[in-house]
Structure 1
């Protein structure tokens, strides 16, 4: 097979050892959607040491990866990072270690592109941080949630941090404003959760006895006339867990367009709240190399602080 002039052969370096082929390509080729990556791998246009591989193939030191020339239509192309987003992300790094970093994720930015989202946080960061050969999410936050988001800058760090997550050695604390007065005696919500799809393909979560075990700890931080500020600590890590558990307890999060209530909508409007009031305020995890505990906090965004000020003044 003759190679075109734009075909690249890239050697795998130490920092890329163990990385999946699809993630390797996402880092190397800017502006390419994941669906296209899967397609060119499936068609055999991507080769490792001249052999066909699957998207989940793990790379070894010295492997030679063939990257074909790609011409993207405007519909396929991942949007380039705007100057505003570039500056926002550059100023959102809370702490950066040798092989990890924690971002104060802005609300409204999805962590991944796809499903109509042209660019997500991880794709944008890979464009902004061209100095990094490896950058992967350790965990996720909902699009409308702000706060601490942990990323790994090397394969060994990702594996170590994922293991810490599985062994429950990573603690996350969120701040949420919920409708009504949360009873101080109710400190845990344990309700099984099941994912399902609406008719339009949108994914939701509901309480269901046949679902997966889920448990969240809630602590009252401040009580207002018609709302409560709570700290929420998910013991398990299910999709939309805090939001669904709070709604199940009869106190949905304010600004929640999926699991909120009419009363909550009116209250949010009266407080000038235009987003989900859910913020990943603190993150604690073992440093992947030394094992020492790392504790990081993300300050509450000014827009949410303003909402609390209004709640305190409400009659």
Structure 2
């Protein structure tokens, strides 16, 4: 307690983004529209993979988990940001701030791990196709998912707990639209040089090591593609790999610019733009990268739209009807 009737608060103040921007209301409205589109796109992609048997493969199962991570990331940030802006309430409690840091960091790290494992899936499918059903089986897929979520959660838990145990200087203002580790560290009153080095080491492990594995795998993949005799098989392999490479760039690019750029803490406006890209635009572009360039996903989407149109005329639920179809495989089934 302070002297008199004042009480020391543990809440943080989110300053929002680009305070000098004149048309901030329009910008927030656009962000909300993008969020709705990203939420719809990822939900639809998960639904398609769940409903249609020709998408019951390890690659699409991993992709559905990536969409789930995107939904978790953007939903943990954008709705609260919009609510704070339109209500004028910029305060966020200590517990809510810690929760937001934990979930956003968990998903970000889990996505890096999962994208690396998805590259391994493509490597086996193209470079060793005969053994693919044996190497990448349903059990291995579940282990990949568990490894991604567990690795993200454990790493995030350590960083969140360690970051929030420091003494925070007043005013407790975070120059972002959400609680983020590096932004909180900038308002710490203690010497955190050692911890900042630990953050850099973690960034190298989480970003550079997976990226080097991905690039090495793609060198082998492209060499294998060049040796293919079938033009159709070569084009299909290149289409799948190009979609995955787009996703690699979307996730690793902003992360490396934020956490591995010298003096990144001194450029909050650039960081803010990169965070906005990573938490709002990337979840929208991910399903587009795998749908617009993928005939199997587009085929499933057209089939679903046709079924919805017919069943709505008959007054029936298309999803329930589809799952009751005796030809539909059981949930969790994979075909190679």
Given the two structures, how large is their TM-score scaled by the length of structure 1? 0.25
Q: Which has the higher helix share?
A: 2
Structure with bigger RCO (C-alpha 8 Å, 6+ apart): 2
Q: Which has the higher strand share?
A: 1
Given the two structures, how large is their TM-score scaled by the length of structure 2? 0.24
